[in-house]
Amino acid sequence: MEMDIDSACKPKDEEEKAKGKPIAAILVGAPGSGKSTFCENVMRGSSRPWVRVCQDTINNGKSGTKPQCLKSAAASLKEGKSVFIDRCNLDKEQRVDFVNLGAPEVEVHAVVLDLPAKLSISRIVKRTGHEGNLQGGKAAAVVNRMLQNKELPKLSEGFSRITFCRNETDVDAAVKTYTAVGPLDTLPHGCFGQKDPNAKTQLGIMRFLKRPHETNARDSVPSQLTEEKGPCGKTQETVSSSSGMASQKIKVSEDMAPGSISHDESDIPTLAFPSISRADFQFDLEKASDVIVGKVEEFMDKLGNARLVLVDLTERSKILSLVRAKAAEKKIDSKRFFTFIGDICQLYTKGGLCCNVIANAANWRLKPGGGGVNAAIFNAGGPALEAATKEQARSLLPGNALVVPLPSTSPLYSKEGVTHVIHVLGPNMNPRRPNCLDNDYVKGCKVLEDAYSSLFKGFLSIANTQVKVPRSSGSILSGPSKLEDEISGTKTKTWAPCLQALYNIAMQPEKHNKQVLEASDDVVVLNDIYPKAKQHLLVLARIKGLDTLADARKEHLPLLMTMHEVGLRWVDKFVGEDASLVFRLGYHSVPSMRQLHLHVISQDFDSKNLKHKKHWNSFTTAFFRDSVDVMEEINNHGKATIQDEKRLMSMELRCHRCRSAHPNIPRLKSHISSCQAPFPADLQKKGRLVPEQNKLWL
């Protein structure tokens, strides 16, 4: 790699003009590529005045925004200092505003740390205490996701110099180059170190995309045990993995707050499906991709917040490439439809993607075998999937789909969080297979369109109407027929396995002795696993069918009173230990976890787990229903009022005492740590705050 600052010199008069110019060096690289370390190493040894502008620390040591970075960089450049823009900057859109800082008196460089994904992931999995809190197992998936959206910088964007680093040796050379640049020195213009100007997939990423049995110890990523939510909602030790996210088309914005890219998406209905026109069916891929994109576009308006994910095991999949390009041309929302590289049977455990429904490119007999996706899904689903399929149908015609609710005994359910498998059969052009169409693509495309229609309708029956298909009677879905005629069942809330941890504890507390603080015939008490205050308990109801506050009726009033009494007893205990604590007892209007539970939470909100607006607003707006009000409403009207989640969760951040507004969580937490204003008058009535008024209502 050309790194010698004395080579490729410009003409003397041009070089003189450049002397003394500050440099805006825009770093480009995924998390874990070493951007911050690069800055520190240069600044430690350079005689040129450098300023590091990092979005993770721009806001008084806390995460800030892109405008704050731009303002800081512009101010430093105006003072004649050079700046490192320490952000990922993986696409042109993220770089353009920083490139525009360039002027006749400012040179704009790019330093691209395009290291192998394996190296970045191994670093990010092992690191702790990261400024932006991007670390551990979930961060590995983020790296692969971001890398597939990257655009390598070009001189045409406005850069005068671009340095590409493909390995650690290149990085060391670049550090030496920039360290050697003194206050009056300049660097030659041009591109240095780039081997493939059109490169997009990182060198080294393919090792993460091997089939599980092809991976050996030499290829494995150094890993670390981390605690995170498993598919059943329990805290578990997991080894992070990066397979599966390489083709993910979700756009990850660098302007998001720390942690926002790792929000739990397990409550978003998601269908993962392979290409139905299987390889051994020999269907033309161009025509198949046209059908996929056309059908996805047709169903976009019906999806709501649900997602469709096209999955393939190999990075070089032609069908994924074709679909990605055609979906982009049609401007299909890449947050609701994207492609994904990985094992469809291990999307959660290996790729970090929660999918409650997966599709199987089945054979007409609906039996295991035949290799490919069908064999893999039946193998992963175990005997429970095969038995559930047989209960509903013994065969399937091309163009049709069969929705199979997955028994909880299936490993796909317990490990991956999959609640339904949809078997679907596409057209066949292989004369050695049944129902061959003899290259009749008019009929073949019609069958394929019907197959995808059937598949998506089956998914919508689960995601939108929340219909649980009875296991005793199958529903074979025919593409052209109406949905109302295709599905029979009862409307009920379908909970993903990862959202049933509280239910499992309430039903069998004896199996969770380490978590349970108190248990009786009516309730179970435990600490919130992610407390949002110094003291934060959950009091769980031990009755089946009482999943949420909306389920509570007058016959449940004695149980609600018991839950309240138990909560008050724990408040008395905590206040006896710390008299400064004040509590509220209440319910979320729309809980994120199954099984009705009462929050007993101190009002200091002093917790590292309180990170997002949703956390704050769920406890300080009308979304949080005080227990005394809930009991009164149910006693008088037979049910509790459920507040609008979307509106209340998007409200501005306000102090729960003085009601002052704040721009972000760090500023809010700083304020509430010292705010001594009295609580609002409405909270001081009817025993909503305890211990001020700790007598049980009624």
Q: Per the structure block, which two tokens stand in for 286? A: 């161009």
**H or E element in which residue 443 lies:** helix 441-463
Q: Which long-range contacts (CB under 8 A, 24 or more apart) does 10-17 make?
A: 10/186, 10/188, 10/189, 15/186
Given a contact cutoff of 8 angstroms between Cβ atoms, the answer to whether 244 and 330 are in contact is no
Phi-psi region of 224 (alpha: psi -120 to 50; beta: other; left: phi over 0): beta
**H or E element in which residue 164 lies:** strand 161-165
How many whole angstroms separate alpha carbon 656 and alpha carbon 638?
30
Beta carbons within 10 angstroms of residue 543's beta carbon: 16
Tracing tokens 């976009």 back to the chain, one arrives at: 300
Given a contact cutoff of 8 angstroms between Cβ atoms, the answer to whether 421 and 377 are in contact is yes
**H or E element in which residue 227 lies:** strand 225-229
Exposed, middle or buried, 133 (CB in 10 Å: 0-12/13-18/19+)?
middle
* DSSP states of 181-231: --TT-----EEES-S-TT--SPTTGGGGGS-GGG--GGGPPP--EEEEE-T
Q: Per the structure block, which two tokens stand in for 568? A: 């008050």
Given a contact cutoff of 8 angstroms between Cβ atoms, the answer to whether 396 and 404 are in contact is no
Q: Per the structure block, which two tokens stand in for 322? A: 């074709």
Q: Are strands 23-28 and 82-86 parallel, antiparallel or unpaired?
A: parallel
Q: What share of the chain is helix, strand, coil (3-state, %, to 5)?
A: 35, 15, 45
Q: List the beta bridge partners of residue 357.
A: 271, 420
637 is catalytic: no
Q: Which of 597, 599, 612, 615 is catalytic?
A: 597
* HEC readout, 493-535: CCCCHHHCHHHHHHHCHHHHCCCEEEECCCEEEEECCCCCCCC
Q: Which residue numbers are catalytic?
A: 597
